[in-house]
Structure 1
């Protein structure tokens, strides 16, 4: 079985847990079983949050450098008040005329290019990607799907079958081709500043996707879609060679398929440069999916699409989701947009992300295990290498660093197929003071990078 990166291993025991933590963990394992992993060698018992901080049962303040679900901060007052207000009014399905779902749909669509002019609501990113794949299949008449080498797109039967990050325990779809991209994109910031290097990288990436299209056509599946996480989070956080997704979009259109931009990780101003990751790549996306950050913890998701795709889908089937677009979720989602806009969190993500990445690069510049840093806004990946000259990724060293930061009350996690990259993805309300604390704690464990 392939374990989740940075997950607690019950086979190693829980010797460091307090009696209360051990008892809660035992109850969790008795009731939730092995389908509910928890983070960290020493799991954290969280009881409340505020901004970019999570507080344990004993009052310990943990700095959350990982959570993109609470995109505008834990227990955000504006989101909380909007949800509480709506709960005093009504919360039912969308088959009635309601202001909340239409108000939010208009606001959301205003953040997209004109061609992306309709939206369907779901409860999660998994549901969004499932619906998007079904729409692409119906519109194109093809089944083939192309993703990146260690992609993760969700947990439904269809979506998990096109998510290689789950490992080989369950078979992937026969109509899937996974394209490796990390060997090209997993390089430090600045690698692609040279236009000739960037052009060569983009050309090689497109060639790999075109080979995947040919393979699917030869197998009789055709190409329905390329499904891409626009920050390539599970592949190791790969923001480099900006624009190559646009080239892939052109190629998949020529192959008869669609580009589905999975914005669960990169959307809602996360990258700082643009509100949506596909726009950062200047790509002509046909369908855009979103989930986790949309409601700041209130379950909701969406599929934004070109109307002709939806019209074709609706002509032969129907889509209805009991809770998708419910008024409480729509009020939460609208409050998230309020916070991003009023607090200028897109600009903030760009400026603070640049500062943090530059300071980490300076701090670790001479550390043998430091393999480089990549970032876009407040999404940061750091490669950890063996402490020799082999430049070999070292997932065990990465795990030690994650655990050491957890012990110093800073929460991050890992990424990449082998878990050898550190992943930092704090709420967008992360402050300069929060950043200083992160950098101080990284400096304190700097010997682990040696």
Structure 2
């Protein structure tokens, strides 16, 4: 827990001398292959999983493999053939009802009627690029900016969170004149060439940028250390990363942080530490980019945005598809000076960023969040589920702790083998729990570098009845010994 918990990457993406990683290529608790590819913790195994499927399932998977290959993962040991959704529920081809405790993209519920009406109505009028004067993009931009502090007063639209993070990083480079980027050690920020190069969660198979430094945060934010010690240690680590990037000649353009630290294991703790980092990065000439693709739009309950939980002085905020309930859209909100500097050096346009259909969908999402009071609902429902799960799992040997902010919940699954009370993660046990819940028609997934943290982030319209069903299924798994 010193300021050496930082890693700067060499040109070919290998970890340099400052690495705090002990695993070599081909070794990873989350299934990193010899090629360096880190496997999705809950992925269907195309090589070994076919034999467990019935003939109909096998035929559909084979059909998918023929045309889509194996590039994109399928979830679960027995993938689900989804044909319909409603609220927090998905239905398969046989009509079976699956409780969706995972899909944050459909934030106001699958097949939301208000979103559908907004999209259908706009499709009957026009849907073209944003290089004309249009009311739709202006109507939404004004509503969206109302939810931000006054200094964050400009917005550009994209089609996804990946595009948003890509644009934000380009803006940071121009505005600061630096190139270096700092992220957390298992961060995921998207799939463009630039953004994937600063997303270490892909594994060593995707070359990481030479101008990237990573900082370990999960060891501090999952423990029981005093908050003051956590904040001081995290600040020291980030400052060390800044010094390394300056010494390497890159400087610091930005710290890019997912505000719920989902890929690192769902880490909402020590609210306020992100503002410490904002102050520190400003002192070295960089900016703070808040990635709100997963934490934004009322999900954390306490605040509308994750960065607000930390009272952080951010410079740029990025969003993605949850803002349109799955309709492709994204946004970058930024301080005027950041955008002006970028506009002076280049032009930016995105053919369908801010298109009228996506804007009407996004407006309907805001309507639903406001009309259904989903921010307070997320807080109350998240508190209830977390309290009940903690009570249910207390004393179980594989229960390593629970963390949450609103309807974003992480449950650590430990190996339970260390009598001293220091447990390691157990990704295989986590996978078994995930797939057993799938058999009970309850859908969750995993997070963390090892894939040993159960991740729950259901649609914001999750009801009390939905919560009771989740808890009953977890109680059943407890009786079967899945939690030790």
With the length of structure 1 as denominator, give the TM-score of the two structures: 0.98
Tell me, yes or no, if structure 1 residue 358 matches structure 2 residue 387.
yes
Within 1, Cα distance between the matches of 2:471 and 2:206? 40
Match of 1:290 among 316, 319, 334: 319
Q: Which of the pair is proportionally richer in helix?
A: 1
Say which SS state the counterpart of residue 47 (structure 2) adopts: helix
Tell me, yes or no, if structure 1 residue 440 matches structure 2 residue 476.
no
Alignment of 1:130-169 (within 5 A): 130-169=166-205
Within 2, Cα distance between the matches of 1:22 and 1:328? 37
Partner residue of 2:69?
Answer: 33
Match of 1:336 among 346, 365, 381: 365
Report deviation, 1:243: 0.5
Tell me, yes or no, if structure 1 residue 225 matches structure 2 residue 254.
yes
Match of 1:425 among 457, 460, 466: 457
Partner residue of 1:368?
Answer: 397
Within 2, Cα distance between the matches of 1:69 and 1:265? 8
Report deviation, 1:2: 1.5
- Unpaired runs of at least 5, structure 2: 1-36
Tell me, yes or no, if structure 1 residue 415 matches structure 2 residue 447.
yes
**Over the residues paired in the alignment, what is the CA RMSD in angstroms?**
0.8
Partner residue of 1:449?
Answer: 483
Report deviation, 1:154: 0.1
Partner residue of 2:121?
Answer: 85
Within 2, Cα distance between the matches of 1:17 and 1:337? 41
Within 1, Cα distance between the matches of 2:179 and 2:63? 43
Match of 1:242 among 246, 262, 271: 271
Partner residue of 1:403?
Answer: 435
Partner residue of 2:144?
Answer: 108
Q: Where has structure 1 moved over 6 Å in runs of 4 or more?
A: none
Tell me, yes or no, if structure 1 residue 348 matches structure 2 residue 393.
no
Match of 1:393 among 425, 432, 435: 425
Match of 2:78 among 26, 42, 49: 42
Contact between 2:49 and 2:77, CA under 8 Å: does it hold in 1? no
Within 2, Cα distance between the matches of 1:314 and 1:234? 32
Say which SS state the counterpart of residue 358 (structure 1) adopts: helix
Partner residue of 2:347?
Answer: 318
Partner residue of 2:302?
Answer: 273
Match of 2:411 among 378, 382, 394: 382
Farther-moved stretch of structure 1 (420-429 vs 31-40): 31-40
